[in-house]
Structure 1
Amino acid sequence: MGKHKYAVVGLGAFGSTVARELESLGNEVLGIDEDEARVNPVADEISHAVIGDGRDERTLRNLGLAEYDGVVVAIGEDLESSILCTLALKNLGVQQVWVKATSPAHHLILEKLGADRIVNPEHHVGVHVARTMIYPHVLDYIALGDDDYVVEFEVPEQLDRHSVSELQLQERYGIEVLAFKRAGSVSTRAGADLLLSRDDRLVLLGRIAALRRFSREKL
């Protein structure tokens, strides 16, 4: 199986980060921006980097984007350019078009154009910062929909030497322990008699209300 091919249109802070990360994960990546000053810094870090107008369907066709596995439109600061680029990519039949949005109106327009995934990095980062400030022992989380969350929870000092059974996660809160992490090792076998140590990590699955209640009552 060959490398997947992805393109990123717009190489600002967000786009260049996506391009570099896709490349580091073993993919072939094409970066496109009409500003040479944005192309040059990533030219040696991704497979291909070109100066070009991402709004122009002919340019995108000539670059072969119709054959790519996915394209990220990272021109969020320029609403018109973002819309024109998205429309051009959909007209070319690109398999997956991911687009950065900067406002609810932008998001709505992109939905109407048929963007496959719309992301608002500033919004997501803001929500993440706010929630981790309120729940400082939650290191990371994934929203699964319908108020179900997977969270990575750092064991605080007050739960040091407590067993998993003492937390009453399943019985009292309906929370499942998916994995246990200690000193860089991960195990899916966190038995009821496991004694926790400060700075251990538990990966938990539960409803957001139950996770909040656990945080209030145990921390």
Structure 2
Amino acid sequence: MDLSSLNFFKSLRSDNKQYGVIGLGRFGRSVCSTLTGLGFEVFGADNDDERVAQIISERLAAHCVKIDSTNPHALREAGLLDLDTVVIAIGNYLEESIITTLNVKEAGVKHVVAKASSEVHGTLLKKVGADLVVYPEAETGAALARSLTQPGIIDRFELDPDNSIVEVMVPNEFHGKTIIELELRRKYGINVLAVSRDEKFEINPEPTYRLCRGTAMVVIGNNKDISRLTAVCSSKQNEKVV
């Protein structure tokens, strides 16, 4: 996600309780499971009997039907076109993905999120009306590559091309020292947003908070500054603790 997505998220209704998910592969299934777990009513749809049956048996959606999503009448009968937000999770079948997105948007669904498998696919989805295009495989691949090359980083969220929020392991060098003693803002140009404690995170820790090896901290800053910090985290994790 980046700043260009802000308008989309600002336009979402805070009182929306119903979501549609078309395409119940791994990505669509994950969307259904998470939304249902958060207490929202999910309308699922797929053209595969087995996927629909699995979603129903595991109760990952309040409603789930087998339909041909390239047929606007089928979408209407399933109730998917009456929803405020619909996720098109068909990424691997370009024609079906594009036609479904077009059908949903032309029917007046206000918020349409579509999964793309390539930049060309994403461009076409935007041209037929998708309000937000996501690239889960590309994002996962990029995250894995960063983790492999920067083992000090546990997780990362890019705010824009130059700035990120990252979760890193506390290096041995920082053990027992307070945030203010480490002068992280002066030395590394980063700010600490949270620290892990008893399997939970403490948000906005006090400057006097003492860091502990084997735990994690969440920091925000410029990517170049974060790289300098993670270099320390990575190298220090490999040293023996005396």
Is residue 205 from structure 1 mapped to residue 215 from structure 2 by the alignment? no
1:156 aligned partner = 171
Q: Counterparts of 1:5 and 1:15 in 2: how far apart (Å)?
A: 15
1:20 aligned partner = 33
Q: Which of 26, 31, 44 is the aligned partner of 1:31?
A: 44
2:120 aligned partner = 105
How far is 1:216 from its partner?
2.4
Determine if contact 2:153/2:230 at 8 Å carries over to the other structure.
no
Q: Counterparts of 1:132 and 1:42 in 2: how far apart (Å)?
A: 32
Q: Which of 50, 54, 77 is the aligned partner of 2:65?
A: 50
Determine if contact 1:179/1:188 at 8 Å carries over to the other structure.
yes
How far is 1:146 from its partner?
4.2
How far is 1:64 from its partner?
2.4
TM-score norm. by structure 2 comes to: 0.84
Structure 1's consecutive aligned runs of 4 or more residues displaced over 6 angstroms after TM superposition are none
Structure 1: segments with no counterpart, 5+ residues: none
How far is 1:189 from its partner?
4.2
Determine if contact 2:196/2:216 at 8 Å carries over to the other structure.
yes
* Cα deviation code 1:57-79 (max 9, x no counterpart): 11112222232131111111110
Determine if contact 1:77/1:102 at 8 Å carries over to the other structure.
yes
How far is 1:52 from its partner?
0.5
TM-score norm. by structure 1 comes to: 0.92
* Cα deviation code 1:82-131 (max 9, x no counterpart): 00000001101112111111111101111212211111111111011111
Determine if contact 1:8/1:74 at 8 Å carries over to the other structure.
yes
* Cα deviation code 1:132-160 (max 9, x no counterpart): 12222221121111411111122133432
Matches within 5 A, 1:121-136: 121-136=136-151
Q: Counterparts of 1:42 and 1:185 in 2: how far apart (Å)?
A: 31
Determine if contact 2:76/2:82 at 8 Å carries over to the other structure.
no
**Taking structure 1 as reference, are residues 189 and 97 closer, same or farther at Cα in structure 2, changes over 3 Å only?**
closer
SS in structure 2 of the partner of residue 142 of structure 1 = strand
2:159 aligned partner = 144
Is residue 62 from structure 1 mapped to residue 77 from structure 2 by the alignment? yes
Q: Which of 83, 104, 112 is the aligned partner of 1:89?
A: 104
SS in structure 1 of the partner of residue 229 of structure 2 = helix
How far is 1:170 from its partner?
0.8
Deviates more, 1:164-173 or 1:82-91: 164-173
**Taking structure 1 as reference, are residues 191 and 75 closer, same or farther at Cα in structure 2, changes over 3 Å only?**
same
Q: Counterparts of 1:78 and 1:93 in 2: how far apart (Å)?
A: 23
Structure 1: which amino acid aligns with 2:63? H
How far is 1:40 from its partner?
0.7
